[in-house]
Chain A
Amino acid sequence: MARATPEPIITLEHVHMQFGERVIFDDASFTVNEGEFVAVLGPNGAGKSTLLKLLLGLIKANAGTIQVLGKPPRRGNTAIGYAPQHRHLEADLALRARDVVGFGLDGNRWGPGIPNARRRAIIDKALLEVDATAFADAPIGQLSGGEQQRLLIAQALLTNPRLLLLDEPLANLDISHEHEIVDLVAKVCRTRNVAVMLVTHDINPLLPVVDHVIYIAHGHTAIGTTEEVITSSTLSQLYDSPVEVVQALGRVFVVGAET
């Protein structure tokens, strides 16, 4: 994916962040370029979601500089598409799949909104991109976790962002739905040349598609290719305790670390 002059989308320089005594980032520095697919890994509570919130401007770092497209993070930045950790929605809510996608277009505007053909066309196109046309008019409560996830991705793409932040989109999905979402995100990343940061617990479904991995543990961060980061030596250093990386059947397993 190397380009002549890839444009940096995210730049972190010497970022320090802590909640009380707990250090999340200690002198974290890295760059994510346009069109890159980056997986964010690490144990629970290590700061994966915190990283996304920093980029969205929802929280501030204690020290260091963060830039998104050359500017400090701010709320309401339409250059970022965001799909948070998803909770399953209830069955009997009066809301259709296309309404969820529509939030991405004008959910932040005042007034009730008047339905029109142009709006409908934009939403139809977004539904098609994530292969959700079949259930466009279905009540969201009746859709599976994978289907709801696709709608959230369509919603996040409606502002034509340069950066897509996906928090645990593979959580609670079975293997085949996992693959569908990974394929979809990879396709979106390549065709739109949008940088993707995908938070996940398991790198395996992403192995064929990721460019880089950011591993966050115990206040330390490491970035690089999967081969560079998911190694016994790098992870042992991050965790500050012996960690063994085992490869078997084309999959990677991290042993000895709480993931």
Chain B
Amino acid sequence: MFDILQYSFIQNAFLAGTCVAVVAAIAGYFMIVRGLTFAGHALPNIGFAGAAGAVLLGLDPIIGLYIFTIGAGISIGFLGKEVNERDTTTGIIMTFALGLGILFLSLYFGYAERVYSILFGQILGISQFDVLITGISSLLTFGIFLTLFRPLLFSSFEPEVAEARGVPVRFLGMVFLILIAITVSLSVQIVGALLVFTLLVGPAATASRIVQRPLWAILIAIILGVFYTWLGIFLAAYSNWPVSFYIATLSFATYLPVRLLSPLWMGRQARSIAIARQRSTRPLGSAGDLQQSNAMPATRREQGSSR
């Protein structure tokens, strides 16, 4: 059943897909902790507009893709810290970009095949040169993520303390969004702009519900991402259905049961914490404390079960 591996286009798909799946999974973990998952949906759509514009100007759509995603990434970096406000503005920028993309396509009188491949992915049509570029970009992005790991995580959770400790919080935030833009542009070529979210956020969201250690969550996200991609390519090679469909479906089919069942093990975790807490609770002091403590077990139980 592995005979498809002898075709070079399948080999290219596996190589590029693996590189992208690894980088996308790391990016996805940080997007979740930074509350930036919406950018994972907005950036590729903005990138589509760039690609359409480039085609109209007779340029390689990949150039337009990179210019628009990086530009949008930097813009999002300048938006407010408030997630709601930022998401609203991001959404409005995104729909404006999509409008531009539609205009560019309607002005173009050729068969915009390459633009459609930006929308839906073209993993089975990438050249050896594309693989090389994807590989190098992925390796660089991976290296930067590894270097920034601790300060990026620190500043994601506690920006004020990180800043006081001398971490260049704003600079890191900006570098992060540029890395996201690059990761999005790489992923677009594999699964297409409409489905980038599936490789970017899907594996990391699933992994975050299975384990709590940051490094483990990232490792599991990588394994899931690579698994979806490989299986997706295999299934697509043996059927006539698109790779992107399979990757998105696998991602969904894994996330759904984990999302539905995770309250079970998370609830058990919460109960064992509550028991450990009760063992370590010291005797309380004044009468006021005792009065208050009567109300506490209920509050704690509530906190445990609400998750």
| Chain A residues at the B interface, C-beta cutoff of 8 Å | 56-58, 75-76, 78, 80, 82-84, 89, 91-96, 99-100, 103-104, 106-113, 131, 133-135, 137-139, 141-144, 152, 155-156, 174-176, 179
Contacts and interface: CB of A to CB of B under 8 A. Distances in A.
Interface residues of B, number: 56
B211 interface: yes
Contacts of B289: 175-176, 179
| Nearest 7 interchain pairs by C-beta | A76-B166, A107-B154, A94-B217, A134-B276, A84-B160, A94-B208, A112-B149
A62 B276 CA distance: 50
A134 B208 contact: no
Interface in B118-164: 146-151, 153-154, 157-158, 160-164
A108 B214 contact: no
B83 to A, nearest CB: 11
Given A75-B163, A135-B273, A176-B292, A112 B150 contact: yes
Given A138-B273, A176-B289, A82 B161 contact: yes
B114 interface: no
Nearest to B32: A93
B106 to A, nearest CB: 42
Interface in B150-188: 150-151, 153-154, 157-158, 160-167
A109 B292 contact: no
Nearest to B284: A176
Contacts of B58: none
Nearest to A144: B303
Given A142-B304, A174-B296, 8 more contacts: A76-B165, A94-B216, A109-B151, A110-B148, A113-B149, A135-B277, A142-B269, A142-B270
Contacts of B303: 142, 144
B147 to A, nearest CB: 5
B239 interface: no
A134 B279 contact: yes
Nearest to A74: B166
Given A93-B208, A95-B157, A134-B273, A107 B215 contact: no
Contacts of A56: 164
A205 B209 CA distance: 38
Nearest to B218: A94
Interface of B: 29, 32-33, 146-151, 153-154, 157-158, 160-167, 207-209, 211-217, 262, 266, 269-270, 273, 276-277, 279-280, 282, 284-286, 288-289, 292-293, 295-296, 299-300, 303-304, 306-307
A156 B161 CA distance: 9
Contacts of B157: 89, 93, 95, 100, 103
16 contacts: A76-B165, A84-B161, A91-B266, A92-B266, A94-B213, A94-B214, A99-B214, A103-B162, A107-B154, A108-B151, A108-B154, A131-B282, A134-B280, A138-B212, A138-B269, A176-B292
Contacts, number: 144
A144 B276 CA distance: 14
B280 A131 contact: yes
Given A83-B161, A131-B280, A135-B277, A108 B167 contact: yes
B166 A179 contact: no
Nearest to B212: A139
Given A75-B166, A93-B32, A107 B150 contact: yes
| Residue of B149, B153, B161, B277 with most partner-chain A CB within 10 A | B161
Contacts of B295: 174
Given A94-B217, A135-B273, A142-B269, A107 B167 contact: yes
A83 B157 CA distance: 12
A138 to B, nearest CB: 5
A142 B146 contact: no
Contact of B162 (A92, A108, A137): A108
A75 B147 CA distance: 21
Contacts of A106: 150
B266 to A, nearest CB: 7
B93 to A, nearest CB: 25
Contacts of B296: 174, 176
A146 to B, nearest CB: 10
